[in-house]
A = this chain, B = another copy of it.
Amino acid sequence: MKIKEIYDFLNKLSPFELQESWDNSGLLVGNWNNEIEKIYVSLDLDLELVDNIEENSLIITHHPLIFKPLKNLVPISYSQKIAIKLIQKNISLISMHTNFDKTHLNKYVMKEVLGFEYEENADFILTAKIDMEFNQFVNYIKKSLNIDSLNVVQSHEKITSFSLTTGSGMGLLSKIKTDCFLTGDIKYHDAMEAKAREISLIDVTHYGSEKYFCQAIYNELNEFQKFAIIQNSKNPFKRL
């Protein structure tokens, strides 16, 4: 099958024009007319992954390989190293980032992973009602995400509502109207800001909250599913 056919299918599933202006979702490496027989799905690309997948295939990732446009193709940075390898192995790449966040990923994590129905859905923020002790809620989240321990900022004993933004959502803090915000990549000053605003935080980690991309997209691939393989990139972090 041709890349073009798969691209058109994905564009119907989650239109690329929904992406944010700063995003770079779409066909990033390869040619519309390339013939491929295998589709990999992964949160991201890493060098080990690219070494392991087959030549002449297509890979669909969540994060665009290239954010800052490339002034040269010398293998220095992450984007340059991997882009060169992809071309050498004739592997094509389609990324579905903020368009897929909006249409599928946030909802998938809220419902299928955490098991909540959402009440509101504004841009990248889903909110849900709840009534739980904070510690009890953190334990529930750890079990749901299958993570041993998490960074949290506790502002209340009880949680009556929470918001979820998978990936890296602290830029949205001023829009959070609930008791608690679940997102990843929480920095120290963000934590201080949330504490002053009396919002609790649970750092569900970027990887930990978005590793579900593979399953979420795989489920929707329909006639292409039989050519598809889930082969997730690895979490670069270890906890020691």
Contacts and interface: CB of A to CB of B under 8 A. Distances in A.
Dominant secondary structure at the A interface: mixed
Contact of A239 (B63, B151, B193): B151
A187 interface: yes
Given A69-B71, A71-B24, A184-B188, A240 B138 contact: yes
Contacts of A63: 189
Interface string A81-109: 11110111010000000000000000000
A13 interface: no
A57 to B, nearest CB: 16
Nearest to A233: B192
Contacts of A135: 240
Given A88-B88, A187-B206, A195-B46, A31 B236 contact: no
Interface string A187-201: 111011111110000
A122 interface: no
Interface residues of A, number: 66
Given A63-B189, A184-B188, A196-B46, A29 B237 contact: no
Interface of A: 24, 26-32, 44, 46-47, 63, 66, 68-78, 81-84, 86-88, 90, 135, 138-139, 142, 149-154, 167-168, 174, 184-185, 187-189, 191-197, 203, 205-207, 236-240
Given A72-B28, A184-B188, A188-B207, A236 B153 contact: yes
A112 to B, nearest CB: 21
B196 A78 contact: yes
Contacts of A238: 151-154
Contacts of A24: 71-72
A134 to B, nearest CB: 9
